Amino acid sequence: MLGTDAFGFDGWLGILGGDGGYMAVDPANPRVVYAEMQWANIRKSNDGGRTFRSASRGLASRITSGVCDASKFLFKSANGGRTWRSLDGTGATGIPDVPIHAVVVDPDRRGRIYLGTDVGVFVSNDGGDAWAVENTGFGAIVTESLSLARDTAGRTWLFAFTHGRGAWKVKN
């Protein structure tokens, strides 16, 4: 949807159709908007959402919502969606072959990424080149949502929301 509350109740416009999906606004440039739909259909706008072009080049055709929503694949673009590379890895430092439900990029620690998966939370400290189980307090349970939040003392906490085991919190 594109608009503001100032335009009134009917002042919002649909900008991309499709079956659900996620959107993200570039924090450094709010005119750059990314949107996704099914089947690796990632779109990019450079004009605040008025027009979009494909940003899916190089993505596997089996990706669903959010570049990783319950998918077993994780991709990263370092050039605004022109090309993508897999972050799955292999062996002991790879992501296990299980669904990924959530991705959180730490804005304060360059290269730190958290994943919520069917077997718990994984963390990378190098931008996704290597992964490890985040074992500082989370259970090995389906983790469907992750969030980073800062408290009034300035400490950052990672919250993990699970399927049937409640919410977990650890200091980031």
CB atoms within 10 A of CB 55: 21
- Alpha-carbon distance of 152 to 166, in angstroms, equals 24
Q: What is the DSSP letter of 123?
A: E
Q: Per-residue pLDDT averaged across 142-157, rounded?
A: 90
Structure confidence at residue 107 (pLDDT): 84
Q: Per-residue pLDDT averaged across 47-64, rounded?
A: 68
Q: Are 43 and 54 in contact (CB under 8 A)?
A: yes
Q: Mean pLDDT check: name the lowest of 60-64, 77-81, 147-151.
A: 60-64
Tokens of 58: 């190089």
- Is 14 a residue whose pLDDT tops 70? no
Residue scoring higher pLDDT (122 or 139): 122
Q: What is the DSSP letter of 13?
A: B
100-125: per-residue pLDDT in tens? 888 888 888 888 999 999 999 999 99
Closest CA to 114 of 92, 136, 97: 136
What ranges do the domains of the chain cover?
1-66, 87-172
Q: Is the pTM of this model over 0.75?
A: no
